[in-house]
Amino acid sequence: MNQQTLPETDANLNSKLATLRRHIQHTIVGQGSLIERLLIGLLADGHLLLEGLPGLAKTTAVHTLADGMALSFRRIQFTPDLIPGDITGTEIFLSQAGEFKFIEGPIFNEIILADEINRAPPKVQSALLEAMQERQVTVAGMTRTLPAVFQVIATQNPLEQEGTYPLPEAQLDRFLMKVELDYPQQDDELEILKRETERLQHGGRESGLAVLSPDEIIAARDQVNAIYMDEMLARYCVTLVNATRNPGAWIAEAKEWLAYGASPRATLALARCARALAYLRQRDFVEPADIVDLADDVLGHRIGLSFAARAEGITARQIIQQLVDIVPIP
């Protein structure tokens, strides 16, 4: 690669990705960071966790993304009475045939919307662990492979909301990024109101464009994996992640803030996301800004706050931002 711009052979895929982005932007007003990270998750072959108060278009954004691709899509509404078999599937006994038959659960689709994932108890949440990491499901001793393109996009309400359960650390680590949403700006909210009025006047929700096929998504991921990352930037990723394990070496008062730091999976995730962001920005090489821009979303949910930090009202993202500010950029 020439390390300047993406080659012409990528033009078709980039054009389709641009069309997909416009399709999402037509429905989701503002929230540019969310839209960009939805595309990064798709290109980096990783799962996403979207957190925000009810009504901030988390579910709508995932629906709109799925509408723009020729992929099978299922929404799983997580509730306190859900059981693992409702997700993975179960075996039923056919009395006439005298044998068991496996009935696939909704997890056997390409795009999974795990809506309000933290409203289900931990046992149900953990039913996703094998699927998210190994891309397979084991039920009654039989392992079944999931589709080649498989992505879980989960939404959750802030943990302070009533009726929520915190996600286990092992599951949080399997999410490529955690994206936090906030209220829209007033101008954006006015535009949302105008578009909703137009939608109702023209007969409801628009159908999707089915822009990208599974083969095209896999091809785009191959191109993302080929994006060049200089060794200095690779070392920067490693140093930044290691700083979360020993924050006191960088910020004296941070020594007591963290119970644990990010795992090596975080280093891999940061590099993958940086390559995907470079690809979206029409480059075939990673720049330091690609890493800096994504550090909060990739690392924030992978570190554990100490009791002292929580007592002082310090958030994980504040710690990550301080480390990003102080760790030297190549």
pLDDT digits (tens, 9 = 90+) for 283-314: 999 999 999 999 999 999 999 999 988 889 89
Same domain, 323 and 292: yes
Predicted local distance difference test score (pLDDT) of residue 206? 56
Joined tokens for residue 295 = 């550090």
Same domain, 293 and 329: yes
Same domain, 31 and 178: yes
pLDDT band, very low/low/confident/very high, at 281 (cuts 50, 70, 90): very high
CATH number for the domain that contains residue 83: 3.40.50.300
Predicted local distance difference test score (pLDDT) of residue 182? 83
Would you say residue 145 has pLDDT above 80? yes
Same domain, 163 and 222: yes
- Of 33, 9, 21, nearest to 296 by C-alpha is 33
The pTM assigned to this predicted structure is 0.88
Among the three residues 179, 199, 226, which one is the final residue of a domain in this structure? 226
Average pLDDT (222-228) is: 95
Same domain, 192 and 242: no
CATH number for the domain that contains residue 241: 1.10.8.80
Same domain, 219 and 272: no
Would you say residue 1 has pLDDT above 60? no
Same domain, 142 and 252: no
pLDDT for 11-29, tens place per residue?
788 888 888 888 888 888 8
Q: Which domain, by its residues, includes 188?
A: 1-226
Same domain, 286 and 329: yes
Same domain, 98 and 242: no
pLDDT for 164-209, tens place per residue?
778 888 888 999 999 998 887 888 788 878 877 777 776 655 555 6
Same domain, 249 and 273: yes
Among the three residues 201, 226, 251, which one is the final residue of a domain in this structure? 226
Among the three residues 226, 251, 282, which one is the final residue of a domain in this structure? 226
pLDDT band, very low/low/confident/very high, at 256 (cuts 50, 70, 90): confident
Same domain, 194 and 237: no
Predicted local distance difference test score (pLDDT) of residue 129? 86
Quote the number of domains for the chain. 2
Same domain, 160 and 101: yes
Find the range with the poorest average confidence among 94-108, 130-144, 151-165. Answer: 151-165
